[in-house]
Amino acid sequence: MTSQTAQAIPSLEFAADLIRQSKRTVILTGAGISTPSGIPDFRSEGSGLWSRDEPMEVASLNTFRVAPERFYQWFRPLARQIFNAQPNPAHFALAKMEAAGLVRMIVTQNIDLLHQKAGAQRVAEMHGTLATLSCTHCFQQTKSEELLQPFIDGGAIPRCPKCGAVMKPDVILFGEQLPQKAWLEAQREARQCDLMLVAGSSLEVLPVAGLPMQALDRGAHLIVVNNSPTYVNVRADLVITNDVAQVLPALAQQVLNG
């Protein structure tokens, strides 16, 4: 445990008490939980993907429809990073708490599947998933490793094995609606939880950023673990401004063994 995390022990004890007392804990994670695994976030000043690229030009549904090769050219290095990434201690910590019956659901803004790779079972993916691709013509769905890996290696745009049309990763682009089933599930859990833990999200992207308020408005407790401030910090029971890859493993240890 680093000295920074050690200094946060009183806060961790309080957070652990809230989790142990909770009957329905929901986790909300953002890009900050995956940056320690080598996946860049989108909005950090100077290092985020949108500091280098205009999102509506490379990652919108309209761009994909008109010029899918432009999307895939931008997407290829990111897909390589995601495919090669492995869960970090933060992902494993949440999966352990879920396995112990202390976490009801993980709601994530990430598309990288790292929660599932770490062993989490109940994950609601708000911005879609990189696990599958769907045909833009016949809607055939195919597992990503069958088509994305050859694309990452050779650069050939994925095409439907059934009809030959361009395949689209099942991630949410700008101009697309959130996956309805996942979104309704996340809202239900936010409204029914008695504790929400936000980890690695700056809560800047609506409508997912509104989930903590749905929980707070119904009397839930709130813990925020993030390197930068969020709009709900003033309403939170506890705010830990530190690296999630350090805080969450220490918190899980405190909850499970404290």
Express each pLDDT in 141-158 by its tens digit: 999 888 888 899 999 899
Domain boundaries, the chain: 1-39+87-127+178-258, 40-84+129-171
Confidence at 239, pLDDT banded by 50, 70, 90: very high
**Best CA proximity match to 144, nearest among 134, 157, 163, 131:** 131
**What's the chain's average pLDDT?**
90
Instruction: Reply yes or no on whether 91 is catalytic.
Output: no
- Catalytic entry in 91, 115, 127, 221: 127
Hey, what CATH topology would domain 1-39+87-127+178-258 get? Rossmann fold (3.40.50)
CATH of domain 40-84+129-171: 3.30.1600.10
On whether the CB atoms of residues 170 and 128 are closer than 8 A, the answer is yes
Residue corresponding to tokens 């920074």: 4
Asked if residue 46 has pLDDT above 60, the reply is no
Instruction: State the Cα–Cα distance between residues 18 and 22, nearest whole angstrom.
Output: 6
Strands (E), the chain: 25-29, 105-108, 123-125, 128-135, 141-143, 167-171, 195-199, 221-225, 238-240
The whole model's pTM is what?
0.89
